[in-house]
Structure 1
Amino acid sequence: MIGLPANRLFCIALLFLFIPAAVCGVPVTRTLSTAEPGAGEVFTVSLSIDGIPLGGVVETLPPGYAFAGTDHPEDRVILRGQQIGFAVMNDTRITYSVAAPASGSGDITGTWEDFLGESYGEVAPSHVAVDGIETVAMSAGERPASQEAAPPFAVLAAIAALLIAGWGGRR
């Protein structure tokens, strides 16, 4: 059994380990205008970005859902199948639209990377279901083989290439 002074020291050490993780938070969060769009309805997805001066965000839509546009600069967006890549340059918010299919459900997932801070992570999944109706195959996270998406880091590499190409022409 650990003595009383050792318990205090152990508790203080735990606090120093867990408090910074809680304070830092997640640099990218997602909000949806609705989690239960109607069939064929276009809804809005907003990404709040905190503390990423230069990096990228890759969003992956569930099968059947389609990217319908964004207010983000066109030269900083790349679309590959169900994945949308956004180049981030001191942005605090990115908004984009998604068209719902006639039926279906699934999770919008995402990853982010801070190129200068050399950190990366995942955006918490957001569940969507047309008219609130769950579909078994899509809500279980399964994807048809024909819709396998490219690895997110390939899209982030493409975003980095867009940023570098954009800087090269601005001299």
Structure 2
Amino acid sequence: MMGLPANRLFCLVLLFLFVPAAVCGASVTRTLSTAEPGAGEVFTVSLSIDGIDLGGVVETLPTGYAFAGTDHPDDRVLVRGQKIGFAVMNDTAITYSVTAPASGSGDITGTWEDFLDETDGEVAVSHVAVDGIETAAESAGEKPAAQEAAPRFAVVAAAAALLLAGRGGRR
């Protein structure tokens, strides 16, 4: 059985090995040319991709907003309704265009997956509103659930390490 100092050291090693690997993996960020497009206006969405050699990104547009094209190769893009899938192969950026409806607001959401590192995550939500006017659902307070700050595995690993370190001192 390990003594108290060895147990704590073991838990700290676990904490420092697993948490940074899970939290500091690949990431995707989204930038909009405008968050308040005019009615029928086409605006640009840019995705900045860091650390994904082989994977994918799926973007979901709000109801009424329409995909208008991309600079990404056609054979690596799939559009199904409000969802746009992009195959990522050593890409650092993807730009696509969206046409705003006559009125309406909502959130552009997204997820990414790194096939080689076997990690995935969410792209931070980007809110858009035609001419800056919120729709009834938004003004009624219906917002999407807040996204997690870190992957679940990182939170579970950190909690387990802290619990084990705390139990080591009790006999």
Alpha-carbon distance between aligned partners in 2 of 1:103 and 1:138, rounded to the nearest angstrom: 13
Is 1:28 the counterpart of 2:21? The answer is no
Determine the structure 2 residue equivalent to 1:137.
Answer: 137
- 1:136 Cα deviation from its structure 2 partner: 1.9
- 1:61 Cα deviation from its structure 2 partner: 0.1
Alpha-carbon distance between aligned partners in 1 of 2:111 and 2:23, rounded to the nearest angstrom: 20
Determine the structure 2 residue equivalent to 1:98.
Answer: 98
Secondary structure class of the residue paired with 2:137: helix
- Structure 1 unaligned residues grouped into runs of 5+: 1-5, 143-171
CA contact (8 A) 1:105 1:138 kept: yes
TM-score (structure 1 length as normaliser): 0.70
CA contact (8 A) 2:25 2:119 kept: no
Amino acid at match of 2:113: E
CA contact (8 A) 1:36 1:129 kept: yes
Alpha-carbon distance between aligned partners in 1 of 2:111 and 2:47, rounded to the nearest angstrom: 11
- Structure 2 unaligned residues grouped into runs of 5+: 145-171
CA contact (8 A) 1:30 1:48 kept: yes
Is 1:58 the counterpart of 2:58? The answer is yes
- 1:91 Cα deviation from its structure 2 partner: 0.1
Determine the structure 2 residue equivalent to 1:77.
Answer: 77
CA contact (8 A) 1:62 1:138 kept: no
Secondary structure class of the residue paired with 1:39: coil
User: Deviation digits for residues 138-161 of structure 1, max 9, x if unmatched?
Assistant: 67359xxxxxxxxxxxxxxxxxxx
Matched residues, number: 135
User: Deviation digits for residues 94-115 of structure 1, max 9, x if unmatched?
Assistant: 0000000000000000000001
Amino acid at match of 1:103: S
Amino acid at match of 2:112: W
Amino acid at match of 1:87: A
Query: Cα RMSD (Å) of the superposition?
Result: 2.6
Q: Percent identity?
A: 81
- 1:44 Cα deviation from its structure 2 partner: 0.3
Amino acid at match of 1:66: A
